Amino acid sequence: MLRERGQREVFCGLTGIIWLHRKIQDAFFLVVGSRTCAHLIQSAAGVMIFAEPRFATAIIDERDLAGLADCNAELDRVVARLLERRPDIRMLFLVGSCPSEVIKLDLSRAAERLSASFMPKVRVLNYSGSGIETTFTQGEDACLAALVPILPVESASAKQSLLVVGALAEVVEDQFRRLFTAIGIDDVRFLPPRSAMQLPAIGPATRYLLAQPFLADTARALEARGATRLAAPFPLGVEGTTAWLHAAAQAFGISDSRFHTAVAPEQERARGALARHREQLAGRRIFFFPDSQLEIPLARFVSRELGMELVEVGTPYLHRPHLAEELAMLPAGTMLSEGQDVERQLDRCLAAAPDMTVCGLGLANPLEAKGLTTKWSIELLFTPVQGFNQAADLAELFARPLVRRARLMV
């Protein structure tokens, strides 16, 4: 295990807004930050304005810093204007940034104050997506953790229920809901919900499954509300999905035979679909740059189900308790690295000359230009990849760059 501290070529937590604002359809994300923050989200989103976005930036300017304008009064004015324009919004997140944290703008107090004036129509919450506090997907963790305190209380005497935690594509959510029903678990809730008005209730009867590996703070907040985590690997690939579902089945006292009857056809179909990609990928050497914290579950999937060889698996942050099952499944002696010194890591990557490099958008083309085949890691977050029916799609994301390289004759 290599721990590095140097230049980290990663996004900050604000980037999570790109998927979260589409997930919770009546929520709006207002970053309180600088022009850099606005530029980052817009650039990471690819300037794709399909519709008016449900995010914006309140750009702090010189007047705010010099104390000529009262930041809180300014924020109230901006929020009022925003909510007037968007009467459909039911939940507003004030998202802290590097500058707002350095100047110690207290967004939790601002959120309380604004909530008091806009409730019950709009609830105002806050979390930090700043780069000094969060790396990329930790923004989602901070956002979900901010939701936990406002989740309705479920009485201790309630029947045991299942909460799936972590943003998933709607198609995946629907598949999981059907699967849980088939297994015999009917009361399944999701966090984040699709609407701010449908917050799942939690309490001591709540058993939760993490759908994403980067939710440390959310898990802590859920436990504080009495919920219990079901330890499992993450639902990537046939093996991961099976074990993830099985953890729930066990907690809900479902017999193994019923479980297997429910999942066997899906497993079968997914294995068949994977086989084609396995042919392409088996024996290929893969290198993961740290990005989304999905690296370890992905590495487990590509090594065990696709037969790929792991050169280095980088992760921005390793949460050992949540990843215990994943780590146990990695081949012995896998080279893990936590944190980053991007220059040294590039040196290692170029020296190892892997067949496939998983990395961020800033590194992909420069590595391609040096003859390496890359997969942009952000696509692994923006594509539905969890569950049985997506296992082959996930494999295909790795296979496509290699297929492409083989096809091109120029």
Collapsed DSSP state (helix, strand, coil) of residue 337: strand
Site string for another protein, 73-112 (x = CB under 8 A): -xx-xx--xx-xxx-x---------xx-xxx---------
- Helix then strand count (H, E) for the chain reads 17, 14
Q: How many residues does the chain have?
A: 410
25 is a site residue for another protein (CB under 8 A): no
H/E stretch holding 19 reads helix 17-23
Asked if residue 120 has a cis previous peptide bond (ω within 30° of 0), the answer is yes
Phi and psi (nearest 5°) for 11?
Answer: -75, 165
Minimum CB–partner distance for residue 387 and another protein (Å)? 26
Q: What is the largest CA-CA distance in the chain?
A: 69
Number of residues engaging another protein in binding (CB under 8 A): 66
Binding another protein (rule: CB under 8 A), the pick from 53, 193, 203, 226 is 53
Q: Which stretch binds another protein (CB under 8 A): 35-43, 144-152, 205-213, 221-229?
A: 35-43
Binding another protein (rule: CB under 8 A), the pick from 2, 4, 8, 398 is 8
Q: Which stretch binds another protein (CB under 8 A): 62-70, 265-273, 276-284, 291-299?
A: 62-70
Record the tokens describing residue 93, joined without a space. Answer: 């997140």
CB 57 within 8 A of CB 31: yes
Q: Rounded to whole angstroms, what are the CA distances from 143 to 154, 243, 381, 408?
A: 21, 27, 16, 43
CB 309 within 8 A of CB 284: yes
51 is a site residue for another protein (CB under 8 A): yes
Question: CB-wise, 84 or 155, nearer to another protein?
Answer: 84
Q: What angle do CA 355, 359, 362 make, to 5 degrees?
A: 125
Question: CB-wise, 101 or 187, nearer to another protein?
Answer: 101
197 is a site residue for another protein (CB under 8 A): no
50 is a site residue for another protein (CB under 8 A): yes
Subset of 312-371 contacting another protein (CB under 8 A): 343, 360-366, 368-369
Q: How far apart are CA 123 and CA 114, in angstroms?
A: 8
Binding another protein (rule: CB under 8 A), the pick from 20, 27, 71, 219 is 71
Task: Using CB under 8 A, list all residues that contact another protein.
Answer: 7-15, 32, 34-36, 38-40, 42-44, 47, 49-53, 56-62, 64-65, 69, 71, 74-75, 77-78, 81-82, 84-86, 88, 98-99, 101-103, 130-133, 135, 343, 360-366, 368-369
